[in-house]
Amino acid sequence: MAIDRALLVPALKNIATRLRIDSIRSTSEAGSGHPTSCCSMADIMAALFFAEMRFDPKDPHNPDSDRFVLSKGHAAPILYAAWAEAGAFDRSELLKLRRIDSDLEGHPTPRLPFVDVSTGSLGQGICAAIGTALNARRIKSEYRTYALLGDGESAEGSVWEAANAGSMDALDNLCGITDVNALGQSRATMWQHDMDQFARRWTAFGWHTIVVDGHEINAILDALEQARNTKGRPTMILARTIKGKGVSFVEGKDGWHGKAFKKGEEMDRAIAELEKQLVPVRENSPAANLAAQIPKPPAAARAVATPKTVAPPAYKLGELVATREAYGAALVRLGEADARVVALDADVKNSTFSDKFEKAFPDRFYENFIAEQVMVGAAMGLAARGAIPFPSTFACFLTRAADFIRMAAISNVNIKLAGSHAGVSIGEDGPSQMALEDLAMCRAEPNYAVLYPCDGVSTERLMALMAYHPGPAYMRTSRPKTPVIYSNDETFTIGGLKVLRESASDVATVIGAGVTVFEALKAYDQLKATGTAIRVIDLYSVAPVDRDGLVKAGRATGGRMITVEDHYATGGVGDAVAEAVAGAGLTVRRLAVREIPRSGKPEELLERFGISAKHIVEEVGELVG
Amino acid sequence: MAIDRALLVPALKNIATRLRIDSIRSTSEAGSGHPTSCCSMADIMAALFFAEMRFDPKDPHNPDSDRFVLSKGHAAPILYAAWAEAGAFDRSELLKLRRIDSDLEGHPTPRLPFVDVSTGSLGQGICAAIGTALNARRIKSEYRTYALLGDGESAEGSVWEAANAGSMDALDNLCGITDVNALGQSRATMWQHDMDQFARRWTAFGWHTIVVDGHEINAILDALEQARNTKGRPTMILARTIKGKGVSFVEGKDGWHGKAFKKGEEMDRAIAELEKQLVPVRENSPAANLAAQIPKPPAAARAVATPKTVAPPAYKLGELVATREAYGAALVRLGEADARVVALDADVKNSTFSDKFEKAFPDRFYENFIAEQVMVGAAMGLAARGAIPFPSTFACFLTRAADFIRMAAISNVNIKLAGSHAGVSIGEDGPSQMALEDLAMCRAEPNYAVLYPCDGVSTERLMALMAYHPGPAYMRTSRPKTPVIYSNDETFTIGGLKVLRESASDVATVIGAGVTVFEALKAYDQLKATGTAIRVIDLYSVAPVDRDGLVKAGRATGGRMITVEDHYATGGVGDAVAEAVAGAGLTVRRLAVREIPRSGKPEELLERFGISAKHIVEEVGELVG
């Protein structure tokens, strides 16, 4: 910075003090929040926002703007205070903190334009920061990413997944800062102020590591400069701080986590103490108005590639192809059509077939090794900065990132999850490798589109729709090869279904998805041979679901509806259909996996766990009586 | 060991070779599996099982038996081969690997008596091993725990949560072994054979670390001895190995992960190579039959404390108490009644009220800091060895351990999860802290009992039931204080419900749980004032659910049923009731949270997101018409 440190430092100290005051005032007004967690990091925030980062407070989404991720999301009040201080909005808004009519929520969400991803579930922000840092490389931007973590947060395994990813990808455009205030929510943290515990871990994980006094502005500025100049690896600044810093009667005291100062005497006393710490800055000093001098991101002329039409699938009817394989093929077509499409995997690319994409676009493929949390977290960061990321792994291992999937819903971020190897139809590997609750996991979140194609054509067509569906989406694919049943020009919609067999004399509607579509078709053939007609539906869109289409079929078949799914009985196809048709007074019988399965051949398992053609035929028989 | 190394080592080498042959033969017979992942660790297995561990092959559950956890569960064939070699069962069984009629599944499950917890989702076994190691301390046993990890697995964050837990708890009765064979499923691992990458991480995390050649029996034996003699911290043995070791045409070759040798020429060639590696051991050598010489665990006389009756709750009707608070009180009463009850928390003990238990029983409380995966994983290990563990955190953060919760269902292990701060009723902290999919997560798993009490008495009564319910269970508690509505001697059952209001003229049944029970009661009062009677049900047991009770109420109220829940619309109370009553032709209208919520006051949020008394009254009005 051009401003002399002798002038700069007292001005930043004043900003830090103001941020502390704002954090205390807003939480006291709200009656809840984490002011002491804000106070410990105020000097870091002042240095970072007003002497280091390049950004435009009025245009936080500028693609070349430095990113700041508050991984310790409970310190939201000071994040808001910093943006207000920078001029993003009026300081008076801060007093609406945590109110139902304000976007200044208890923990940050992207309802605010300067927040990329929701934080507040610890250990996630640093993973998203991996994604925003990767994105800078993707769009060839010089912007840097800063992520501020808590020390308690450092116990989360996801932090160490991010640590590995950062060093493996040599992300020298990423700088982490850990606010080591030594106090967690309920007690002293694991390592308290033993800075070496932190330093040796981050160093071992391949990061450049700097230990500073987090209340020494000069030391913080030096560390940030050192981080900026460190090449080939990310930097972690470990800042030794005091929780509640600046307010003598709470400094370093246990029992103050997540407690607002009581309005009145308690708050007034805290603020009075802080106000005394303000030092005079001459009005004509170059440091008098640091907010006005925040360097804007460089104006980069950036050609935006217009997405092309996604090439159609090219299968033959009856051709045997696993939907997971079609997923890989579709991903390549998408990659060809749109430069924003990127893929991530967790060391199963040769099973999910994302390796096809890697071969075609090695620069847009990110290998996360066996670390599903940082894979999904990085995808969230990439999506927040304009990429269209497809993270893939076995569907059962997406449960490893369930909390990220939850937070992605809250962020309404544009990630496209892909889970392969759904259900008992994977066979011999056994239950640990079978996803039987993935539909439940994704359907539970309000914002997710959940797709479950049964053949190559529908997989490819749905992939193209999914890529441009705003918000999070999940596609479930299967291990076994299944015949192509749709012609290449068949069209699909998110929220649609396909009636595969119908006649005026259908006695029941059987609704399958994925592999069970073929069991339903087999049951159709068997029943037809005995003179019984059933309607067969491919429910390829499990969320949203085609309510009208289902009700129509149900009504046309005497209200007799059967769902059959390679998923547990709860939260999947059965529940989706049942809720959809309940309003029409219709009920549903469900065939689903109802106990913990085991190893065996796929067809043996479909049989044993009650979701084969034979069971459908029996169920129709019972229903028709 | 008493046997001279000069005799012991060749005998162990032979065992390792036999284990390789068995692993190849069984996977070839099955037509799938991971023989090359077994070959890399065969020497370690031979040394561990036949020259280090103390156990009784015929009584693997002996409480003083050393524990072995195969964290890299895909190497199941060599685990089975080792137990067969030790005499646990006949070697011929190995050829039934992965068959539907055999318990020798693709990945290990506790269907086998020598498996404590299911593995196969990587990074979980080492967490369970933390639990079995803690358990040794709990029961004052000298047994040791060994956990064998893969190198690819080491990318999982949960491994580093376990690493922290192990050193923090100074678990010198725990020894990890990482099989560094440098090849993952889809490519070379992150660090390949750079042993220092592993060593510096484990050392930084506070473990005694030893690097060995994983094919040098002498070095392995030395390392195991060193581990046994290392006090005050756990040991990690980092074994440099070759994937496919022993079979020249696959050794260290990519592309062989998860591939069985083809029966016939390919398998025969591999086995012939291995057979040539067998060396003659004299029949009368002390090393001729190592299996027969496995040291049995010491016979420890152990007094088993008989559980006492759990003390009843002691509330006054109408007293205001949050169910999370009652949870803490109940946990203390359980602890007093039964020495097997232990509690774990993730730095929120003062919010979940598990701190009450810690105060009463500091030796039976485990603080996991903010690391939910190892918390649940350790609970699984503790449960597998006879403890009754209650891991608690905010319900939303249990999603962080969703994959562990899934695997706990597969293990059918006796853990008692407790999630506090359910739903929008937490208020100002905002959506990141609100659990709105936790019921869906636990209900999806076939083996879970899911309980959701609304007052202090039901919480305490259900806690006592939950503790002795076999298998996994989950209790959801709430943040707000609610009035006690049950008398202290009221009885409850898992799978039961309570009809709180009923009359012959009820026009509809309203089913709530937790905080919405009180919204339903308010709605009852409001409707009563207008001359409309409704039936009100407290569905405290969400899984299993009282089908008959629900159907009876539905039928008695003209088939008009409304569920209301502080949970998303999918997978919770609404779905549970809908599925239960569908067979009787009844349908359900659901009031639930249907979009991403935000910060605000609890009552504002119940109102805004459609689950308040007002919405119930309106819904009854619409339904009755």
Q: According to the model, what pLDDT value does residue B301 have?
A: 77
CB-CB neighbors (< 8 A) of A369 in chain B: 152, 155, 184, 189-190
Model pLDDT for residues A251-299, shown as the tens digit of each residue? 999 999 999 999 999 999 999 999 999 999 888 899 999 999 999 998 7
Strand-pairing partners, residue A240, are A180, A213
Q: What is the mean pLDDT of chain A?
A: 97
Under the banding of pLDDT at 50, 70 and 90, the label for residue B287 is: very high
B201: amino acid identity, one letter: R
Residue contact A596–B121, C-beta within 8 A = no
Span B556-561, average pLDDT: 98
* Helices A125-138 & A157-168 angle (0-180, nearest 10): 20
Q: Look at residue B531 in the predicted model and tell me its pLDDT.
A: 97
Instruction: For chain B, give the mean pLDDT.
Output: 97
pLDDT of residue B1 exceeding 60, the answer is no
What is the spatial order of strands in the sheet that B145-150 belongs to? B67-70, B145-150, B174-180, B235-240, B208-213
pLDDT in tens, B595-612: 999 999 999 999 999 999
Residue of A283 and A79 predicted with greater confidence: A79
The amino acid present at A422, given as its one-letter code, is: A
Q: How far is CA B175 from the centre of its chain?
A: 20
Q: What is the pLDDT of residues A145-173, one digit of tens each?
A: 999 999 999 999 999 999 999 999 999 99
B371 neighbourhood in chain A, CB within 8 Å? 155-157
pTM over 0.95: yes
Indicate the burial class of A548 (C-beta count within 10 angstroms; 0-12, 13-18, 19 or more). exposed
Whole-Å CA distances, A409 to A385, A471, B236, B404, B420: 16, 8, 39, 21, 21
Cβ pair B152:A571 closer than 8 A: no
The length of chain A, given as a count of residues: 625
pLDDT of the residue at B135: 98
Say yes or no to pLDDT of A65 above 60. Answer: yes
Tokens of A549: 């289409």
Of B437, B590, B605, the CB nearest to A445: B437
Cα separation, B110 vs B132, in Å, equals 14
Mutate to test the interface with A, among B186, B353, B586, B595 (most CBs of A within 10 A): B186
- Computed on alpha carbons and rounded to an integer, the radius of gyration of chain A in Å comes to 28
Q: How far is A570 from chain B (nearest CA, A)?
A: 5
What local confidence, expressed as pLDDT, does residue A303 receive? 76
* Residues A305-360 pLDDT 10s: 789 999 999 999 999 999 999 999 999 999 999 999 999 999 999 999 999 999 99
The DSSP result for B193-253, as a single string, is T-HHHHHHHHHHTT-EEEEEETT-HHHHHHHHHHHHH--SS-EEEEEE--TTTT-TTTTT-
Phi, psi (rounded to 5 degrees) for B359 = -65, -40
Percentage of chain A lying above the pLDDT 70 cut: 100
The verdict on a CB contact (< 8 Å) between B402 and A397 is: no
Interatomic CA distance for residues B532 and B528, integer angstroms: 5
Report the percent of chain B where pLDDT is more than 90. 97
**Could you report the per-residue pLDDT of B229-276, keeping only the tens digit for each?**
999 999 999 999 999 999 999 999 999 999 999 999 999 999 999 999
**How many angstroms separate the CA of residue A373 from the nearest CA in chain B?**
8
Q: Give the per-residue pLDDT at A2.
A: 77
Looking at residue B166, what is its pLDDT? 98
- Residue B45's φ and ψ, nearest 5 degrees, are -60, -40
Nearest to B542 by CA among B572, B566, B511: B572
Of B537, B541, B441, which Cα lies nearest the Cα of B494? B541
Alpha carbon of B116: minimum distance to chain A alpha carbons (Å): 15
Minimum CA–CA partner of A571 in chain B: B571
**pLDDT score for B409:** 98
Tokens found for residue B318: 């109408």
Q: Are B121 and A397 in contact (CB under 8 A)?
A: yes
Closest CA to B514 of B426, B610, B441, B429: B426
Instruction: Note if B372 is an active site residue.
Output: yes
Q: How far apart are CA A90 and CA B504, in angstroms?
A: 59
Q: Is B78 helix (H, G, I), strand (E, B) or coil?
A: helix
Helix (H) / strand (E) element for B423: namely none
Contact check, Cβ <8 Å, A370/B122: yes
The pLDDT value recorded for residue A133 is 98
How far is the alpha carbon of B5 from chain A, nearest alpha carbon, in Å?
A: 36
- Nearest chain A residue to B374 by CA: give it: A157
State how far the Cα of B193 lies from the Cα of B522, in Å rounded to an integer.
66
pLDDT, mean of residues A547-565:
98
Residue A23 has pLDDT above 80, yes or no: yes
A426 CB-near residues (< 8 Å, 6+ apart): A433, A434, A479, A602
Distance from C-alpha of A588 to C-alpha of A621, rounded to nearest angstrom? 15
Whether A570 sits inside 8 A of B443 (CB atoms) is: yes
> Which chain B residues are closer than 8 Å to A429 by Cβ?
32, 106-107, 120
Secondary structure class of A21 (helix, strand, coil): helix
Cα nearest neighbour of B355 on chain A = A186
Give the span between the Cα atoms of A38 and A419, in whole angstroms. Answer: 39
Which residue type sits at A225? E
Q: Nearest chain B residue to A402 by CA: give it.
A: B399
Predicted confidence at residue B620, as pLDDT, reads: 98
CA distance A594 to chain B (A): 6
Catalytic residue, candidates A153, A372, A437, A460: A372
Chain A residues close to B429, C-beta within 8 Å = 32, 106-107, 120
Instruction: Tell me if B107 and A433 make a contact (CB, 8 A cut-off).
Output: yes
- Percent helix, strand, coil in chain B, to 5, is 45, 15, 40
- What b/e string do you get for B482-491 counting C-beta neighbours within 10 Å, with b at 16 or more? bbbbbeeeee
Contacts of B149 in chain A (CB under 8 A): none
Chain A with chain B: Cβ pairs closer than 8 A = 335
ipTM: 0.98
Are B152 and A369 inside 8 Å of each other by CB? yes
Structure-token pair, residue A416 = 């496209």
Sheet holding A498-501, edge to edge: A498-501, A535-538, A509-512, A561-568, A589-593
pLDDT in tens, A81-124: 999 999 999 999 999 999 999 999 999 999 999 999 999 999 99
Q: Do A410 and B432 touch (CB under 8 A)?
A: yes
Chain B neighbors of A98, CB-CB under 8 A: 428, 430, 599-600
In this predicted structure, the answer to whether residue A376 has a pLDDT above a threshold of 60 is yes
- Judged by DSSP in three states, B5 sits in helix
Contacts of B447 in chain A (CB under 8 A): 596
Provide the β-strand partners of residue B482.
B321
Which of A492, A587, A495, A497 shows the shortest CA–CA distance to A539?
A497
Span B145-156, mean pLDDT? 98
Find which of A238, A370, A393 to mutate to test the B interface (most B CBs within 10 Å of its CB): A370
- In A, minimum Cα distance to B167 occurs at A190
Whole-angstrom distance, CA of residue B400 vs CA of residue B482: 28
If you ran DSSP here, which 8-state letter would residue B456 be given?
H
pLDDT tens-digit series, residues B372-387? 999 999 999 999 999 9
Please judge whether A432 and B121 are an interchain contact, meaning their C-beta atoms are less than 8 angstroms apart.
yes
Interface residue of A202, A410, A442, A570 to substitute, partner B, most B CBs within 10 Å: A570
Contacts with A396 from chain B: Cβ below 8 Å:
121, 403, 406
Judge residue A281's burial from the number of C-beta atoms within 10 Å of its C-beta, 0-12 exposed, 13-18 middle, 19 or more buried.
Answer: middle
Say whether A406 and B396 touch across the interface (CB within 8 A): yes
Nearest CA in chain B to A600: B100
Nearest CA in chain A to B561: A582
| Rg of chain B (C-alpha set) | 28
Are B244 and B256 a contacting pair, CB within 8 Å?
A: yes
Selected catalytic residue, list B85, B153, B325, B372: B372
Compute the distance between CA of residue A508 and CA of residue A586 in angstroms, rounded to an integer.
Answer: 12
Q: Using alpha carbons, select from B625, B607, B623, B624 the residue that is nearest to residue B615.
A: B607
The single-letter code of the amino acid at A212 is V
Cβ-based contacts of B400 with chain A (< 8 Å)? 121, 156, 402-403
Model confidence at B71, in pLDDT bands (50, 70, 90)?
Answer: very high
**Across the interface, do B433 and A107 touch by the CB < 8 Å criterion?**
yes
Distance CA(A196)–CA(B468), nearest Å, equals: 44
- Nearest by Cα to A621 from A529, A512, A532, A553: A532
Among candidate residues A350, A432, A205, A196, the one with its CA nearest the CA of residue B154: A205
Q: What percent of chain B has pLDDT over 70?
A: 100
